[in-house]
Amino acid sequence: MELPIIYVRGFAGGGSGIDKAVDDPFYGFNEGAVHVRVGKDSTPRFYQFESPMLRLITEQHYRLLVHGSQEAYLDRTPDGEVPSNSIWVHRFYDQAASTFGQEPQAYVLEKAAQDLFEFVQKVRRKTGAPRVDLVAHSMGGLICRSMIQRFIPELTRPANGPLRLDAAVDHVERLFTYGTPHGGIEFGIGFGLLEKARDLININGAEIFGPDRMYDYLTPREDPAVRGERPRDWNPARMPADGFPVQRVFCLVGTNPEDYDVALGLSSKVVGARSDGLVQIDNAYVPDAHRAFVHRSHSGRYGLVNSEEGYQNLRRFLFGDLEVRVELHDRRVRGEEDDDIVWQLETQLSIRGLPIVMHEQTTAHHCPVQIEWRAPEDTVDTPVPLLTTFLATAERPHDVRTGEMAPTVRHALRLRLLSIREKGGIFGFFDHLEQTADFDDTLVVDFRPPEGAAPAQAWATWNSQLPGAIRDWQPGDAPPLADDAADVPGVWRGRVPLPASGQAILGDGATIVLTVSGRPPAGG
DSSP result, 62-122: -EE--TT-HHHHHHHSPTT-S-SSEEEE--TTGGG-SSSSSPPPPP-HHHHHHHHHHHHHH
Please report the DSSP string for 264-282 in residue order: GGHHHHHH-SSBSSSSBGG
C-alpha to C-alpha distance for 496 and 490, rounded to whole angstroms: 20
Average pLDDT rounded to a whole number, residues 221-225: 79
- pLDDT tens digits for 387-406? 999 999 888 888 777 888 88
Instruction: Give the contacts of 433 (CB within 8 A, at least 6 positions apart).
Output: none
Check: CB of residue 54 under 8 Å from CB of residue 103: no
The pLDDT of residue 334 is above 60: no
pLDDT score for 193: 67
Check: CB of residue 88 under 8 Å from CB of residue 6: yes
Q: How many helices (H) and strands (E) does the chain have?
A: 11, 20
Average pLDDT rounded to a whole number, residues 485-503: 94
pLDDT score for 198: 74
- pLDDT bucket at 174, cuts 50 / 70 / 90: very high
C-alpha to C-alpha distance for 342 and 339, rounded to whole angstroms: 8
3-class DSSP state of 209: helix
Instruction: Give the contacts of 147 (CB within 8 A, at least 6 positions apart).
Output: 113, 114, 116, 117, 120, 168
List beta partners, residue 44: 37
User: Which stretch of DSSP H or E encloses residue 22?
Assistant: helix 15-22
Looking at every residue in the chain, the average pLDDT score rounds to 90
- pLDDT bucket at 268, cuts 50 / 70 / 90: low
Check: CB of residue 499 under 8 Å from CB of residue 462: yes
pLDDT above 90 coverage of the chain, percent: 66
- pLDDT tens digits for 406-452? 889 999 999 999 998 888 888 888 888 888 899 999 999 999 988 88
The pLDDT of residue 117 is above 60: yes
pLDDT score for 362: 95
- pLDDT bucket at 272, cuts 50 / 70 / 90: confident
- pLDDT tens digits for 134-171? 999 999 999 999 999 999 999 999 988 899 999 999 99
The letter for the amino acid at 155 is: L
3-class DSSP state of 225: coil
Instruction: Give the contacts of 324 (CB within 8 A, at least 6 positions apart).
Output: 388, 389, 390, 391, 411, 447, 514, 515, 516
Backbone angles phi, psi at 487, to 5 degrees: -90, 5
Of the candidates 282, 274, 268, which has an alpha carbon nearest to the alpha carbon of residue 255? 274
Domain ranges of the chain: 5-319, 323-518
pLDDT score for 11: 92
- pLDDT bucket at 199, cuts 50 / 70 / 90: low
Average pLDDT rounded to a whole number, residues 49-68: 95
Of the candidates 180, 114, 148, which has an alpha carbon nearest to the alpha carbon of residue 248? 148
pLDDT score for 319: 95
pLDDT score for 192: 67
Is 5-319 a domain of CATH 3.40.50.1820? yes
Q: Which residue has the higher pLDDT, 260 or 115?
A: 115
C-alpha to C-alpha distance for 344 and 499, rounded to whole angstroms: 18
Backbone angles phi, psi at 189, to 5 degrees: -135, 165
pLDDT above 70 coverage of the chain, percent: 91
- pLDDT bucket at 226, cuts 50 / 70 / 90: confident
- pLDDT bucket at 264, cuts 50 / 70 / 90: very low
3-class DSSP state of 170: helix
Judged by average pLDDT, the poorest of 6-10, 114-118, 121-125, 341-345 is 341-345
The pLDDT of residue 69 is above 50: yes
Q: Which residue has the higher pLDDT, 74 or 263?
A: 74
pLDDT score for 13: 85
